[in-house]
Amino acid sequence: MMFDRTMLLQRFEDMYAAPPTHVIRVPGRVNLIGEHIDYCGLSVLPMAIDRAVWLALRPNHLEKIRIATTAVGFTPAEFSTLTPIVTGQPGDWVNYVRAAAETILTGNLLVHRTSPPGFDALIDADLPLAMGLSSSSALVVATALALVVTAGMDDLEHVCENNPSFCLELADELARGERYVGTAGGGMDQAACLMGCSECAIRVDFDPLAVTPVPVPPDWSFVIAHSGDKAEKSGAAQQVYNRRTEEARRAAQKAWNILGEPECFQMASDEGLRSYEGLLEYTDILEKSKKILDSTSYRRFRHILTEARRVSHAEEAMRAGKLAQFGKLLTASHRSLQDDYEVSTHQLDAMVDTALASGASGARLTGAGLGGSIVAICPANNIENVLAGLSYGTPFIVRPSEGATVSLI
Ligand code: NG1
């Protein structure tokens, strides 16, 4: 799966009888740690990767979006940019495009425009779809940037490097906007796709949204391998995802009400937690909540609290170049997702075991789970063994990458 820019430009021209004016590149992301906690407002540690969605566009002055993709089986679409924009069938890929359009056209970012913008677009990707690598959020971000370009905003080349406050606002709006497709998601993916940073993972904090680069040691390697089950967020997987967000909220609310500790979520990722007192308090919260929550709610709550703590320890380990420690935290995260949050599958569990047996320092499912991929981390000198062990999951290496970019043709 290789991206061919010349081919994209040529096919665009063949399709729309004029060359594109811009190409937008939006990377996917691998979430390294901090799974199923962004929607609780807790910090996460994803990394934008060197696989991306590419969108070639040309403003069309027709007040409509016409969009197609080079991927087989995705029907081209067109719709008016007059809002409200009506959702298509559940599972329709164009819903992500509509989500971005509705968000941007009804939001505050394009206040100076005079008429609804429209554009023609062709999409290509070297980012595999439905693998838990945020191809859908990359599409949402790419569409949003296409509207921003069409509205005439300049200086977009390294949009987030040059204008971080614009990108933070955009990421926030798009996180809310992507819920248009029916998933009650958090804000990790849009922030990572937009604001990733080369050679770095990023810590994403919420309320308010903030992104902090965390340098990835150059001798750490990340391998992605696919479980064979699609991580599609429509139908049953979407229902389980939305149920988990509800369960998490209810468990936290109940614990808060009874323990009177509304700030306990923040505490889990707080500096203070690393201190002796903080740790005591943390154990205390878990013990007390065990007495008041039913067993399922308790396990959901335990995942959230322990995962938040693992994120802050993982950031520390990454900054200190402690691979073994980082790897252990990844594997512990997987076990928690497997046992407490129940979003793993036998196939994902088996792949994590294979990765570890092949010499990975740690491995876990990445993304929402219930299919999709694992990420394994290993020292660069052991990568061949890990790739060979995971060969049945068509493994590939990913590198940290910068976030979205816009280039003029
Ligand atoms: P995926 O399905 O991997 O793109 C989803 C959510 C994230 C986060 C993770 C679980 C969306 C767009 N993304 O990611 O916000 O909650 O699950 O950590 O809903």
- Indicate yes or no: pTM above 0.85: yes
Ligand 1 first shell, C-beta below 6 A = 31, 35-36, 38-39, 132, 134, 137, 178, 183, 185-186, 188-189, 231, 233, 367-368
Ligand 1: which residue has its CA nearest to atom 12?
A: 185
Counts for the chain of helices (H) and strands (E), in that order:
13, 12
User: For 243, how many CA atoms within 13 A lie in the half-sphere containing its CB?
Assistant: 11
For the chain, 409 residues long, give each residue's pLDDT as a single digit of tens: 789 999 999 999 999 999 999 999 999 999 999 999 999 888 999 999 999 999 999 999 899 999 999 998 899 999 999 989 999 988 899 999 999 999 999 988 876 666 778 999 999 999 998 889 999 999 999 999 999 999 877 667 778 888 899 999 999 999 999 998 888 899 999 999 999 999 999 999 998 999 999 999 999 999 999 998 887 777 788 899 999 999 998 888 887 777 765 454 555 555 555 555 565 567 778 888 899 999 999 999 999 989 998 999 999 999 999 999 999 999 999 999 999 999 999 999 999 999 999 999 999 999 999 999 999 999 988 999 999 999 999 999 999 999 999 999 8
Mutate to test the pocket of ligand 1, among 129, 189, 204 (most ligand atoms within 8 A of CB): 189
Bridge partners of 206? none
Q: Is the dihedral of CA 131, 134, 136, 139 positive or negative?
A: negative
318's tokens: 């990454």
What DSSP line would sit under 229-287, residue for residue? S----STHHHHHHHHHHHHHHHHHHHHHHHH--TTHHHHHHSGGGGSHHHHHHHHHHHH
Bridge partners of 54? 25, 124
Scan for tokens 């994902």, then name that residue.
348
Whole-number Å distance, alpha carbon 280 to ligand 1 midpoint, is 31
Whole-number Å distance, alpha carbon 132 to ligand 1 midpoint, is 8
153's tokens: 């905003």
Q: How far apart are CA 225 and CA 374, in angstroms?
A: 6
Catalytic residues: 189
Closest atom of ligand 1 to 245 CA is 16
